[in-house]
A and B are shown apart, each in its own frame.
Chain A
Amino acid sequence: MRKSFIAIGCSLLLASCYALRPSSGGGQTDYSSPRRTDAGDIAVTPEYAVALVASGFTFPTAVAVDESNRVYVVEAGYSYGEVFTTPRLLRVEGDGRTTVIAESDSGPWTGAVFHDGAFYLADGSHRGRILRIELDGSQRTLVEGLPSKGDHHTNGPAVGPDGKIYFGQGTATNSGIVGPDNADFGWLHRHPDFHDVPCTDVKLAGNNYRTHNPLVENGAPVETGAFLPFGTPSRVGQLVRGSVPCSGAVMRVAPEGGEIELVAWGFRNPFGLAFSPDGRLYVSDNGYDNRGSRPVFGAADYLWQVSEGAWYGWPDYEGGRRVNEHRYKPPGPAASTPPMPLLAEAPGKPETPLARLGVHSSSNGLAISSNADFGFRGHVFIAQFGDMAPGVGKVLSPVGFKVVRVDPTDGTIHDFAVNRGDKDGPASLLGTGGFERPVDVTFSPDGRTLYVMDFGVMLMEGKTPRPQQGTGALWRITRVNGEHNR
């Protein structure tokens, strides 16, 4: 009886935490230029060493390494917060200076891989392209017209064992409904007819969401349904034709271009793609936010092992569970019910993730160790950009801002490189010279060096991102001693 009383008392006290405390995300801090960098402020186990390679990048999103071990950085040319710069592919010289290989007039450029003497690069701008860029900077478009005008962009790419170029396409929206939050992102004003595109035919449940209309001053409220433009309600049983390319999908194309093939869909933002030494495809995926007209509370980020032709659950499932369960209802007055189903019939049985990563951790680029000398062969290393609270929803403590390792045999998650200090968070919050926001990881061709692309400082001013130009950094992690025992 006494034990039960203690247990209930303790639980009730803990239960009040979320309601009592304000949001405390990693970006909710101050920053004054210049950014300080100090590899000694990043903790790894004693077998490894961290070093700074270069710094001063503006909104970097990817790192690639060519066959001669020369290192390249992709600068996006755009950041959330509606800041537009020039997308660039840069070669990092031995002294840390950079040489421009290619640039564009529209971003974001969101990822790149070096293969067969050239770069395959994701152009996540409104053009939605996969580019091949030669070392002399000449560019050729392999794919264009991907649905990349919304919240999430074209991602990847990765080269499959079949020699094809695999890439991800994020969804336009948080959870299937175009709403005022998409106006806050900017694109609803630029592309008022844009919406998510299913990969196969879907029948809608007819659930609509009523919001104010940010496109019209003092306009009447409007209702919006799934996979439809803003202000267009859906009907029960309405058929929406699927097509490829589509939203929330992994697709592929031959290295010389041609027809786009669907690999799998039902993702939200499949940001990182990588193949294991034995040819399995792993994808990182940013889970739902607690925002917009159909907010979802408590949704993890995921690591998926992708099966060809499978459906992964967006917009009606969270890691294999239906989002109309009570656990997904945002606390407080933001929503009176859990998210309502958007699909009358699921396109398939949703898969279960290999790992459920931190809610709002923004688990992005990933790489898989292929060299036993580095250690953890076959394990998945994931760059966690870190939360953008409170814009994505409230958190009690910073989430992410590190590199984690996932053991694919059991789905366990381990810190691999993390800022020193008594709490997690970006260096700007901790007052150190460590990671700000790791956004990508890539192994050198010999598998002995793990490069970590650090986006740099992104503050949150209320719910608005305030990215800081010129604060990106490139780090490398190498094995320095000892036989690895795993």
Chain B
Amino acid sequence: MTRLAFLLLLLTTGACGPARRSAALESAPDIRDASLAKGQVVFDRHCHSCHPGGAGGLGPALNDKPLPREAVAYQVRNGVGTMPGFPATEISVNDLSLLIDYVLALREGR
């Protein structure tokens, strides 16, 4: 429960905070990694327009949130608030896994 409380505290204070800019050019995710490259294709097709490069835009930044995989997956599938959900007919199970890997890499590469 301690970890849960910590996560919720971080999100409460940080989820709506100032956006971090898109991945710095020098430390962008290594897209020569084939798996991450595929993840970027999925991200740019479905997510980039509201979270350009993982930064804030129409929606909040993704690259500064300590979101666990489960939270990313839930949000993508169910879409809460203004964000639409993306069912498996739009983002397959495999693509969702690649997408989450890429989103987490954006956070590390920020």
Contacts and interface: CB of A to CB of B under 8 A. Distances in A.
B93 interface: no
B58 A10 contact: no
B58 A331 contact: no
Does more than half of chain B's interface fall in helix, strand or loop, or is it mixed?
A: loop
Interface residues of A, number: 55
B15 A421 contact: no
Interface in A33-47: 43-46
A239 interface: no
Contacts of B78: 11
A298 B68 contact: no
Contacts of A43: 24-26
Interface string A10-25: 1111111111110000
A320 to B, nearest CB: 11
A413 interface: yes
Contacts of A18: 59-60, 81-82
A300 B53 CA distance: 14
B48 A356 contact: yes
A360 interface: yes
Interface in A394-445: 395-397, 399, 410-415, 418, 421-424
A59 interface: no
Contact of A13 (B11, B83, B84): B11
Interface string A296-316: 011011000000000000000
Interface in A267-303: 297-298, 300-301
Nearest to B43: A412
Contact of A11 (B16, B24, B44, B74): B74
A65 interface: no
A391 to B, nearest CB: 14
Given A18-B81, A396-B58, A415-B53, A423 B44 contact: no
Contact of B11 (A2, A3, A10, A325): A10
A15 B83 contact: yes
A360 B11 contact: no
B25 A6 contact: no
Interface string B64-101: 01011011011100101111100000000000000000
A13 B49 contact: no
B105 interface: no
> Quick one: which of B4, B60, B61 has the most chain A CB within 10 A?
B60
B49 to A, nearest CB: 4
A216 B11 CA distance: 50
A231 to B, nearest CB: 32
A334 interface: no
Contact of B25 (A326, A393, A412, A418): A418
Contacts of A393: 58
State the 5 A-B residue pairs at the shortest beta-carbon distance, nearest first.
A397-B56, A15-B81, A397-B19, A15-B80, A300-B49
Given A11-B71, A13-B15, A298-B49, 16 more contacts: A5-B4, A9-B7, A10-B67, A11-B75, A13-B11, A13-B12, A15-B83, A17-B81, A43-B24, A45-B26, A357-B48, A358-B50, A396-B59, A396-B60, A399-B58, A412-B44
